[in-house]
Structure formats: structure tokens, C-alpha cells
Structure 1
């Protein structure tokens, strides 16, 4: 369920969902129409780097690349607001997603060790429940294809119009790439790669290229006037 901290709802998330959340402003992100305030993630610490003003962790929940987590040191009272968590330990982090030096980073309010590994499974169940609760059954938020629309479900745009039904078996990134290509398939030449990068600015060029290769090989998209323009086979 959605838990509350003060007046802010804490949304349980996976690392993949945070890394692919859409950008609202420099330090504001959203999953569809839900603007993120505080979120919680659970993962294993892959790296730990203390600095004079903050401590940075690399937290991995195996749904995507590790997420940078940053916790500031309280310099006024000379007391660190952090604790040392060596690599290999599981932690639960509650914080806010931020853009730090061009990289998405979770600004931690609290970090604590997980002693009972059942809490890892519990967190993933909370992710599923929270996202089903908020978005209906539009997302399959399991460990492998987080934030993917469920097979057979029509995907709606913010204006209320349907974007169609996504094929079964697509990852979150592949689904997002296909959605954008479908929107531009009304054009004779489809969408060019440069425009696709602009629309999907939160994804890397490598991720877009990999998704395009998969979608092309599976027959979901095809190239038009050259190898850098694409249309959907169904739109």
C-alpha cells in the first residue's frame, strides 16, 4: 500500500522505475501522471564513498543499473547523518529523486540495514500493489519488466485517448520506444532517430538502439526512408 510520511506519500519503487521516470523539471520526476515526492527502494550496496559533505552509495536491486544514493552530512552539529554500509549489505532507502551533476540520484532521508531478507520480497510486493493501486492494471511491475503495461491493456495518454495495446513480452524501455514510434507513425517517413532521442531524453542512446534492434527483429517497427527513420507496423 502507499505509506505516508508527514503529508507526503512514500511510493515503493524499483531502481528501474526511477531511472526511467519522465522528467517534469530539473529536480522533479513523474511516473505517468504521478509526480514523485518521496520514494522507497530496497537493494544491495555495490559501492560506498564517503566525502566531507556527503556519503554516496551505489544501490542495486537487479532491475536496472545501480542507482546513486546520496546522504548529506550535518555539518552544523558535526554529526554525520549517515552510517557506514559496506558493499554486499541490503538496505532500504527513503528519499527524493534528484538530478545531481547530470545524473539521477536518490537524496536519502533515511537509510537502514535490512536484517530479515523477507523484507526484500515484501518490498517488491508493495511495489506491485502500490502501482496497481495508483495506475489500475496498466503496469507489470515485476523484477524483470518494471513499469511495463500489462499485455492486452490499452495504454492511455494524459489527454484520455488510447495509444493502443502493446505487444506481450516487451520490457519497460522497449515499450516506451514503441509508444513514441507509434505516435509519429502518422507521418509518411515516421520518426527520425534524433527526434526519438529527444522524446526519450531520459534513456541512453545505447538503450534506444538496443530497443530498436529488438523491435525491428520482432516485426514491431520498420525503417522507412533510411536506416534512421522508423514507423510502427501497427498504429
Structure 2
């Protein structure tokens, strides 16, 4: 597979050759000039396809992480579940994608003993491949990902596709196109997307979305509530669209990691909001 060291892509020059792996500039991390330019770095606007090595080797300043000039906050990784530890409030995993040591992934849940079995969050099984969407965190010097979404792989082509997305993101950012939607590749090849604003927001820059999915993502992204946009609020803005179609689009956006549920399964916020 990929070499179990550094940035993973050592044969292609993307690995940890004394640098940090990831979407790095040719000069690597940690130089005085880069430290002075920290304030000019931009925040990633989408979930960034990453490897475990890139997460572990990302440059860190205070509680922020960087791949080159881009702040790395929300990531998606694909790997093998090595260990699973369950508790009523959290499921802990070790995820291994063969680019570095296994990465700790925490998924906070509410699996109270009084909750019906069918409503509990089911843990992923050991020795199965999963896709993780989450926020990068560091505690006591140990890095982990706090997952807001985990899905099992049903097609192993997704593993290869993910690694291509990682490379594409690296090339896009290194070529100076910035941290916009061009750095985020979708696993599904959608029907394209259109620049449809809604609710006072700008254009969607997420490739691979249909016009309806793109519009719903914008509505959720631009919703002012701290608890996110409800399905009902989306339906009110899209009166001519059947509710079932809206819910299917929401399910797709959630599964792809573009939005996530907040207080319940009817309220959502955008991950790049």
C-alpha cells in the first residue's frame, strides 16, 4: 500500500522528507519566514481529504493546525478500524491507513441504557474500512480527530478515490488556487452544480453537487440560528420542491460530510460555515 512513515507518498515527493507531509509548499514547515507569515495563512473552507500522516505531521500553532499555508480544521480520512472501545457517551477508535501509526478517533454519542437499541449509534466493526469526517484536535500533545460522521466503505474503489483526492488537494493548494472548493473533491460524481445563492449567501463552490443539493447546502450554511437550519426552514425557502426530495438531498449532504446534525436529526449546520 503506502509506506508506513512520513507523509505516505514518499515515492511521489509528497511524504515527510524532513517536512510535515500534506499540502506543503516546497520549502516545508517551520522556517522563520513561514512563522512570520502565519497571520496570512487562510482557513480551509471545506473538509480536507487527508491521510493519517498528514494529520499527525501538520504544523501546529496554539490550537490551530496547518498544511502549508492552509489551516487544517475539518478533515476526512479513510482507513481500517484497528480497535474499538465503547462507552455510553463515547466510542473510541484507532484508524489505520498505512501512512503512519494508527490515529485516535473519538465519536461522542448518547447511548444511554434507557435508549432503545434501534436508536443507539452503532459502533463500526474492527477490521473494516470506514470514512471519517471530523475536527482535528490535540490534547496533552496527542492528536486525534473528533468525528461528527462515520460511514463504512461499501466499495473499495472509494479507498483509491480518497487517495487521489488527497493528491488533488495537495496539487491544487500548491499551485496557488487557495483553500476554496477546488481543494475538496467529492467521492460521488454528481450531476454538476450551479452557482445558486440563497438566503443572502454567495455561490456554492463544492464540486459534485446537483443544483438542488447545492442550493440546500447554501441555505443551511447561511442560516443564522446557532442550532442550525431545520428541515422545515429549508422547505419554506424551497416551496416548489417536495419535502421528500429535500430530505434525500439533506441525507446525501450529511453522508458526504458537507453538513452535520446539531440538536436533532432535523437541524443541520454546514461544515464549512
Summarize the alignment of residues 223-234 of structure 1 with structure 2, pairs less than 5 Å apart. Answer: none
Q: Runs of 5+ in structure 1 lacking a partner?
A: 1-6, 138-235
Structure 1 residue 119 displacement after superposition: 0.4
Gap change, CA 1:101 and 1:50, over 3 Å in 2: farther
Residue 162 (structure 2) pairs with residue 126 (structure 1): no
The residue aligned with 1:225 is none
Structure 1 residue 19 displacement after superposition: 0.2
2:89 is aligned, of 15, 30, 53, to 53
**What whole-Å deviation, never above 9, does each CA across 1:84-107 have from its counterpart, x for those lacking one?**
212110000011110134310100
Gap change, CA 1:114 and 1:50, over 3 Å in 2: same
Q: CA RMSD in A?
A: 2.4
2:51 is aligned, of 11, 14, 35, to 14
**What whole-Å deviation, never above 9, does each CA across 1:18-37 have from its counterpart, x for those lacking one?**
000011223x2111211012
- The list of structure 1 runs, each at least 4 consecutive aligned residues, that deviate by more than 4 angstroms after superposition, is 75-81
CA distance in 2, matches of 1:110, 1:20: 23
Contact 1:15 1:67 in 2 (8 A): yes
Contact 1:71 1:82 in 2 (8 A): no
Q: Runs of 5+ in structure 2 lacking a partner?
A: 1-43, 177-273
- The TM-score with structure 2 as length reference comes to 0.44
Report the 3-state secondary structure (helix = DSSP H, G, I; strand = E; otherwise coil) of the residue aligned with 1:111: strand
CA distance in 2, matches of 1:101, 1:81: 30
Contact 1:53 1:73 in 2 (8 A): yes
How many residues are aligned here? 130
The residue aligned with 1:73 is 109
Structure 1 residue 115 displacement after superposition: 1.1
1:96 is aligned, of 130, 135, 139, to 135
